Each structure stands twice: as C-alpha cells, then as structure tokens.
C-alpha cells in the first residue's frame, strides 16, 4: 500500500532533544559491513520452526495475522470467553519450566537487515533514519525502546513478578529468597545499539504481496548470531531485533494461511543451520506493509501502532522466556507466553492494547499476563514495581508468647520500602523499615491483617488472618 506522509502517521513525540543525542552517542549508532563469516545469501529453506505442529505454538508469532476471511470474522474478546473466563485464562497461569529469564538490565539491539534500507541519516531527536524507510519504522522503534525503563512507567514492571531459581511448575516467585532472581526492571534505556547490515539484498516485491520469496527463518537466526558478534554481546540479557525492509517476506510472515506479525526465538534452535552464539532474537517484519488493524488491538490504529505493539509483545516474551528453543522459562500449560495470553483483548477491557506515554513519545503497547492479578491471573496494562510475599493465609499465635514474622517485599527498581500494617493482634507492631512484625500477643481472638509496602511510584498489599489462642 502507498506510504502515508510520515508526519501524518507518526504519533507526536515528547521533545527529547539533547537527551536523545546523548543516548545515541552512548549506544553508538553503527552502520557498516557484516562481520567476518556473516551469511551473504539465502540459507537453505527448512520447515518453519514456528509451526505449531512442531511443538512451538508460543513462537508462532505476536498476534497472528488474520486472513481476509478471518479479519471479517474478528469478534470482541468478550464473545470469545468460555463460561465467563477470559480467553487468556484457558491455558491457566504461567508456570516456570526451569529455564533462564532476563535478570540483568535488558538490552535491545536493533538490526536493520538488507541493502534496501538505503542511506543513513539522523532525525531531529538524534535517531538513525534510512532513505529506504518510507514510513519511519526505524526512528519509531528507536524512540520506543529508548523510552522503556529509567522513569516511572509501570508497563515494564508487569514482567518482574516472574523469576528463575524456583521449583519447576511453580506459579509464583517469592519476593526475596536465596537463589531466586526476578526479571529485571530496566534501570535505563533498553536501546543498546543500532546496526544497518547492507551485506545482503533480500528478495523483494510490491508491499503486501504474498508471492515474494521469503527470507528464511534460519537466515534471520544467522543474522542475529552475526549481530551478537558485531556488538560483542552474547549474554541472555541481550535481544536482537531483526527488522526487515519494506516489500520483503521474512520468515513467511505474509503467508495467506499461516501469516503472523512477529515471533521470537533463539539461534540455538536451528542446529547446524546457524553458526555462532546462542542468543535471543525477534523477527520483526516491515509492519506498515499491511493493514494496521492486522497487528494492533486498538480500535482505530494509526499506521505505526501495530509496529510498536508487536515489538512490545516480543520484548516482554524475551524477558520471561529468552531461550524457548531448549530451555523454556514461563509458559502456560498450552505453551502460551506472557503476551500470547493477552493478544486482541477487546479495546477498553482490562489488559487491552493502549497508548503508553514514555519520555520519548507515546506508543501502542499490548497488555501482559500477570499471575498475581486476582485469584486466577489476568491481563494488565501496568503493575506496581513493589512485589510482596504473603507470610501465609492463616497465622497462629498464643497469648504471652513472643512472635517474630518477616514480611518479604522487593522494589524491583531498587528503592527503599516503607511498611505499614492494619488489624494486627493486640501487642504486635511492624517495623516500618524492615517489615518485621514483633511483639507478644496480649489477648485471644482472630484478626484480619493487611500489610502494605510502599516504594517510589507504587505499593503492594497482602491480607491474611492471624488467630491468637489462650496460653
């Protein structure tokens, strides 16, 4: 479809000025040739590793693209409910499968793959631009990732309730415990680098044409491995977003039957087809080539809304399941990940896609699944950065016998916490700095207790019953 004027289709960004230029200086916007050993042509085609029949349903893609028929049949999420349960709840809560999560500061490397991106420039905010990018995909993605973390935005905090180092198939993580590490809240911009790799010219054709020869999935994985060597970062905290130019068909995303908007994987999932380190990567096609409504859950999406929505989907899934090809971390019993469970939630409903305001602009993002939302979990748009563990549903004590109960809490942004409590049995108090409840009960009875922990822009509360009997 024809490219709309850039200024008419891109949401107005907050003025970022010299701060943006500083980030570009720090992360180093790099344009150059591929590293030694990079693929210079198509890799032999293989069966799609995102094919659900091969056991990888959670990597089939962020918001699978509807065909024309499916698009006509799209119905509100409320009509997809079964016996009153949201569609996302049908696979149950996310459960830990033993793999790693991103516990260090998340880092996103944008790789603009292919010679069609054209000449490089810089916009007024300091972001890299390319002459072959008619809809402004490159600066929009840079602004989105640059805005995540380091401020008061609470969308990123949804994923921090998940962790590694707990029992397999557990549904929740203790706020603090030896050997347990939570998904990190980014302490600063997650945008870590930008690279235009012009070493290969992917097959191209008219935008939206399903007959374009696809860039193979193995080739995209190889590009991610090459990018990891280019940036000298092979850590599990790094994710490589391979962005293909307009008019191309990376990984078969334009397939009329099994098309998708994006997917994430890890290079080690491709065996001998890929040489180099095992790293997380996302296949992000040129989303404006298709109808914006196909990749956005908003009621009336603008041209670039679907782009950042699927980018947010895959970013969150890499945080909670970075190596799905062999060391799965958090999925539900059907194999769905944190964002899969909340795609296409009806606009206006809890956890539906919405516009997230960051220091770098306003962007369409998708809601994410939270196991700790209500009794059975649910989709959220934001989450407190404070995580609080219950000491148990029922505590017991005896009149005249001293007690000491630690309430565990964590501010994932690293700040101090202040604890308060209401309803404590007579004779007990809580230390506002440590969360320790101490004292000697003076009267029998049953109390409904609520403990809260507050830190920075958020707080969390937990309720439980405390029964005191006679000596």
Tens of pLDDT, residues 84-130: 344 566 789 999 999 999 999 999 999 999 999 999 999 999 999 99
pLDDT digits (tens, 9 = 90+) for 277-312: 999 999 999 999 988 888 898 989 999 999 999 999
pLDDT digits (tens, 9 = 90+) for 418-465: 999 999 999 999 999 999 999 999 999 999 999 999 987 788 999 999
Confidence of residue 209 (pLDDT cuts 50, 70, 90): low
Q: Which residue has the higher pLDDT, 57 or 239?
A: 239
Instruction: Identify whether the C-beta of residue 452 lies closer than 8 Å to the C-beta of residue 446.
Output: no
In this prediction the pTM is 0.82
**Per-residue tokens: 349:** 């409903």
Cα gap 15→303, rounded to integer Å: 21
Q: Give whole-number Cα distances, 211 to 62, 200, 352, 386, in Å.
A: 22, 20, 33, 49
Instruction: Identify whether the C-beta of residue 259 lies closer than 8 Å to the C-beta of residue 253.
Output: yes
Q: Is 271 a residue whose pLDDT tops 50?
A: yes
Q: Is 176 a residue whose pLDDT tops 80?
A: yes
pLDDT digits (tens, 9 = 90+) for 32-90: 223 333 333 333 333 333 333 334 333 335 444 444 333 333 333 333 333 334 456 67
Domain ranges, ordered by start, for the chain: 6-383, 387-469
**Per-residue tokens: 167:** 């029992």
Assigned CATH topology for domain 387-469: Immunoglobulin-like (2.60.40)
Cα gap 289→20, rounded to integer Å: 28
Q: What is the SS3 assignment for 387? A: strand
User: What percentage of the chain exceeds 90 in pLDDT?
Assistant: 62
Q: Is 211 a residue whose pLDDT tops 60?
A: no
pLDDT of residue 75: 31
Q: Which residue has the higher pLDDT, 204 or 387?
A: 387
Per-residue pLDDT, averaged over 374-385, amounts to: 92
Confidence of residue 415 (pLDDT cuts 50, 70, 90): confident
How many CB atoms neighbour CB 457 within 10 A?
16
If you search the block for the tokens 């500083």, which residue do you land on? 22
Helix axes 17-27 and 137-147, enclosed angle (nearest 10): 90
Instruction: Identify whether the C-beta of residue 64 lies closer than 8 Å to the C-beta of residue 71.
Output: no
Q: Which residue has the higher pLDDT, 324 or 131?
A: 131
pLDDT of residue 42: 32
Per-residue pLDDT, averaged over 223-229, amounts to: 98
Q: Is 255 a residue whose pLDDT tops 90?
A: no
């Amino acid at each position: 479809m024809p490219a709309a004027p850039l200024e008419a289709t891109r949401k107005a960004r907050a003025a970022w000025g010299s701060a943006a230029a500083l980030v570009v200086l720090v992360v180093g916007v790099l344009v150059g040739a591929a590293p030694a050993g990079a693929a210079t042509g198509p890799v032999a085609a293989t069966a799609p590793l995102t094919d659900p029949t091969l056991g990888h349903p959670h990597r089939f893609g962020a918001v699978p693209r509807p065909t024309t028929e499916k698009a006509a049949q799209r119905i509100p999420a409320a009509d997809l409910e079964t016996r009153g349960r949201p569609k996302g709840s049908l696979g149950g809560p996310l459960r830990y499968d033993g793999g790693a999560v991103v516990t260090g500061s998340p880092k996103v490397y944008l790789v603009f793959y292919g010679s069609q991106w054209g000449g490089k420039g810089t916009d007024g905010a300091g972001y890299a631009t390319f002459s072959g990018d008619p809809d402004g995909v490159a600066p929009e993605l840079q602004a989105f990732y640059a805005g995540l973390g380091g401020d008061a935005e609470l969308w990123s905090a949804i994923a921090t309730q998940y962790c590694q180092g707990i029992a397999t198939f557990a549904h929740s993580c203790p706020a603090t415990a030896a050997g347990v590490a939570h998904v990190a809240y980014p302490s600063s911009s997650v945008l870590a680098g930008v690279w235009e790799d012009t070493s290969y010219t992917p097959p191209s054709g008219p935008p939206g044409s399903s007959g374009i020869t696809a860039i193979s999935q193995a080739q995209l994985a190889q590009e991610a491995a090459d990018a990891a060597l280019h940036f000298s970062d092979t850590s599990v905290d790094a994710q490589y977003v391979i962005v293909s130019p307009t008019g191309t068909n990376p990984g078969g995303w334009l397939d009329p039957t099994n098309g998708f908007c994006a997917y994430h994987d890890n290079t080690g999932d491709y065996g001998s087809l890929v040489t180099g380190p095992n790293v997380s990567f996302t296949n992000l096609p040129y989303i404006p080539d298709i109808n914006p409504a196909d990749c956005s859950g908003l009621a009336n999406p603008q041209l670039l809304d679907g782009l950042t929505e699927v980018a947010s989907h895959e970013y969150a899934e890499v945080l909670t399941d970075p190596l799905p090809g062999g060391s799965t971390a958090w999925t539900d019993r059907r194999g769905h990940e944190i964002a899969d469970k909340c795609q296409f939630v009806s606009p206006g409903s809890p956890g539906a896609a919405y516009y997230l305001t960051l220091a770098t602009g306003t962007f369409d993002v998708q809601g994410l699944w939270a196991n700790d939302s209500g009794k059975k979990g649910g989709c959220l748009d934001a989450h407190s950065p404070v995580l609080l563990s219950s000491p148990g549903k029922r505590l017991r004590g005896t009149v005249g016998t001293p007690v000491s109960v630690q309430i565990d809490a964590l501010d994932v942004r690293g700040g101090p916490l202040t604890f308060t409590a209401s309803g404590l049995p007579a004779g007990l108090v809580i230390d506002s700095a440590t969360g320790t409840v101490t004292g000697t009960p003076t009267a029998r009875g049953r109390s409904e207790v609520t403990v809260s922990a507050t830190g920075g822009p958020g707080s969390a509360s937990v309720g439980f019953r405390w029964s005191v009997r006679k000596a």
